[in-house]
Amino acid sequence: MDEKKHSSRRRFLHDALRFATAAGIGTSLPLPAWARTARPDAQAPTASTYDLAIGHTPVTIGGRQAVATGINGTVPGPLLRMREGERIALNVRNDLHHDSSIHWHGLILPYIMDGVPGISFDGIKPGETFRYDFDLLQNGTYWYHSHSGFQEQTGVYGPIIIYPKDEDAIDYDREFVVLLSDWTFESPETVFANLKKMPEYYNYQRRTLADLFADASEKGWKQTAADRRMWGNMRMSPTDIADVTGATYTYLMNGQDAAANWTALFRPGERIRLRFINGSAMSFFNVRIPGLPMQIVQADGIDVQPVTVEEFQIGVAETYDAIVEPDARAYALFAEAMDRSGYVSGTLAPGPGMRAEVPVLRKRPLLTMADMGMAHDDMATGDTKPDHADMRHGMNMPLEQRHDHIKGVGVDNVAEQSRDLLAEPGLGLTGLDHRVLTYADLKSLQPNSDRRKPGRTLELHLTGNMERYMWSFDGVKFSEVKGPLEFVHGERLRLVLVNDTMMSHPIHLHGMFVELVNGNGRYNPRKHTVVLKPAEKLSVDITADAPGDWAFHCHLLYHMVAGMMRKVSVIEAGEVSS
């Protein structure tokens, strides 16, 4: 689709949603009370016991009907409000005809309560109830979701708020959860099968003849032709930002699409805490509230030193808390898919029925050779011309010469030159005229308690083969891994992650937080999910204080299912395998 047609599509989508809103057409999900337009108190009552039932429930989105997998009959599931220091009991009943589970994302708990079938427990059989019970050792914004098959994609997810046992370090008058997700009317199995047959199946934004002439006008025919040959030889596309796009996805905010216009009501003069959660299966979002700065105060449930931005990119499974102080008017809560193939919007307003102007989707981003890890390429800035001969040498170099331990049919690229991108915003957000959050901006509010230097370093590569839709670590998919990654209980280690692919990956370690090594020393931020941009190399420090077996995986659901997952075993020193 050329840019002119793409721009027309953006306007059509924008106008169609405005019409649908006026006509009362939108999402008609069985919504929990927290997800409806309301004036919730700053801190609603907490509970120490919850009964949750996983089962099928009918939904209607944009006038189309389907059957989802909900919790207590709703999509998303109930908001679980808890209190730090208490013992929680979560009774989860499986009303499906196949196994199920719930994982408490980001919560510190015994591994047998983590909820990952095949790693930490056997799963919940049809008709059975599993009782999760553990002490709450933290506070903050978190979420929960199924770790069985594709159930997360079909609706098994919901938000968690854990309030501090003492006074909250964050001052606010009112709070709202903003849970972002993606919905498809196709079965997840069909989506996965389509990706296996044709990885660009959902990419409707591929370059066209019109793009060729536009590039030639900007760069010249020689460079444009060389660029096209390079991408063609690699069988890859610079428009391949997301595997699954708005071609099949409807993007939701608290279970509602843009036409339904989820609304958060406030009183003028209040400090509002927005708890953003990306509970989607595959979608990164660019979040902004035009005309209203956001003060980021928490990342992945951990308080950070406040930083004011106008936009941030939130990867799958990440959470960000922001404080806003709106005037007495309506504001658009706008979450744009990273590849610009769609969006979801809501409203922050002092009264019902109000709606601000919704931004139009921006021009799609494009990958460059630098995103492939090719040396001597600065195409993103245009400062220098790429050395295509060096790129061909890098791409055609035998894989075993480029990195000895990464090879096989599951790997189509190894980054020749990985980069430190912590000070760069998310993919497609460079060069904007407003401030965008970067990982370099994040500083923990409290100093990290473990001041030891890492005793050892472990390097792990994120690998894949787009043509075959295979995803892995170090070129080996989960089903073929011979043994777990072993951490010694109590040790301090550094994990170096290298993204050898052209996609952004949110990497999640269960059971433990990692400290992102971003130059802030004892104030390096602690996170449960870390996003690696294409060809990025970053390091995290880990205190292995959680004995047991834990999942470690890419949180893009179809990547995890395709093999980008490992088991981490935290063992005693005398149990280290030879």
Question: How far apart are the C-alpha atoms of 106 and 509, rounded to whole Å?
Answer: 9
Average pLDDT over residues 237-261: 92
Neighbour-count burial for 247-267, b at 16+ CB within 10 Å, e otherwise: ebbbbbbbbbbbbbbbbbbbe
Question: How far apart are the C-alpha atoms of 18 and 253, rounded to whole Å?
Answer: 16
Question: How far apart are the C-alpha atoms of 562 and 277, rounded to whole Å?
Answer: 24
Identify the three-state secondary structure at position 197: helix
pLDDT digits (tens, 9 = 90+) for 58-101: 999 988 999 999 999 999 999 999 999 999 999 999 999 999 99
> Counting beta carbons within 10 angstroms of the beta carbon of residue 66, is it exposed (0 to 12), middle (13 to 18) or buried (19 or more)?
middle
Question: How far apart are the C-alpha atoms of 98 and 21, rounded to whole Å?
Answer: 38
Q: Which residues pair with 276 in a beta bridge?
A: 178, 320
DSSP 384-395: S---HHHHHHHH
Binned at pLDDT 50, 70 and 90, residue 207 comes out as: very low
Helix or strand holding residue 233 (H, E):
helix 221-234
* Cα→Cα distances 259→22, 253, 276, Å: 8, 11, 20
Across the chain, mean pLDDT equals 86
What does the pLDDT read at residue 188? Answer: 98
Helix or strand holding residue 217 (H, E):
helix 209-219
pTM for this prediction? 0.87
Question: How far apart are the C-alpha atoms of 130 and 90, rounded to whole Å?
Answer: 8
CB 338 within 8 A of CB 313: yes
Binned at pLDDT 50, 70 and 90, residue 15 comes out as: very low
CB 191 within 8 A of CB 149: no
* Cα→Cα distances 312→174, 429, 536, 563, Å: 21, 9, 18, 29
With 80 as the cut, is the pLDDT of residue 252 above it?
Answer: yes
What does the pLDDT read at residue 372? Answer: 57
- Residue whose entry in the numeric block shows the structure tokens 């406040």: 306
Q: How far is CA 249 from the centre of its chain?
A: 15
First to last CA, the chain: 54
Average pLDDT over residues 256-282: 96
Q: Which residues pair with 529 in a beta bridge?
A: 508
What does the pLDDT read at residue 268? Answer: 94
The percentage of the chain sitting over the pLDDT mark of 70, rounded to a whole number, equals 80
With 80 as the cut, is the pLDDT of residue 154 above it?
Answer: yes
Binned at pLDDT 50, 70 and 90, residue 387 comes out as: very low
User: Which of 25-34, 276-285, 477-486, 534-543 bottoms out in mean pLDDT, i.e. has the lowest?
Assistant: 25-34
Give helix 3-23 / helix 209-219 axis angle, nearest 10°.
Answer: 120
Structure tokens at 383: 């400062």
HEC letters along 262-293:
CEEECCCCCCEEEEEEECCCCCCEEEECCCCC
Residue type, 60: T
Structure tokens at 359: 């931004």
User: Which of 82-86, 297-301, 395-399, 468-472 bottoms out in mean pLDDT, i.e. has the lowest?
Assistant: 395-399
Tell me the backbone φ, ψ of residue 29, rounded to 5 degrees: -85, 155
Length of the chain counted residue by residue = 578
Tell me the backbone φ, ψ of residue 59, rounded to 5 degrees: -135, 155
What does the pLDDT read at residue 231? Answer: 42
Structure tokens at 14: 């924008």
Binned at pLDDT 50, 70 and 90, residue 410 comes out as: confident
Average pLDDT over residues 452-481: 95
Binned at pLDDT 50, 70 and 90, residue 10 comes out as: very low
Question: How far apart are the C-alpha atoms of 557 and 508, rounded to whole Å?
Answer: 12
Give helix 209-219 / helix 221-234 axis angle, nearest 10°.
Answer: 130
What does the pLDDT read at residue 475? Answer: 95
Question: How far apart are the C-alpha atoms of 209 and 331, rounded to whole Å?
Answer: 39
What does the pLDDT read at residue 507? Answer: 98
CB 56 within 8 A of CB 69: yes
Question: How far apart are the C-alpha atoms of 228 and 570, rounded to whole Å?
Answer: 47
What does the pLDDT read at residue 230? Answer: 53
Average pLDDT over residues 507-515: 98
Alpha-carbon dihedral sign for residues 391, 395, 396, 402? positive
Residue type, 512: M
What does the pLDDT read at residue 18? Answer: 45
DSSP 406-441: --STT-S---SS-B--TTS-STT-TT-SS-B--GGG
Question: How far apart are the C-alpha atoms of 274 and 252, rounded to whole Å?
Answer: 16
Q: Going by DSSP bridges, is the β-strand pair 311-314/343-349 parallel, antiparallel, or unpaired?
A: unpaired
What does the pLDDT read at residue 224? Answer: 45
With 50 as the cut, is the pLDDT of residue 13 above it?
Answer: no
What does the pLDDT read at residue 577? Answer: 67
The percentage of the chain sitting over the pLDDT mark of 90, rounded to a whole number, equals 74
Tell me the backbone φ, ψ of residue 378, rounded to 5 degrees: -125, 40
* Cα→Cα distances 489→392, 448, 574, Å: 45, 18, 10
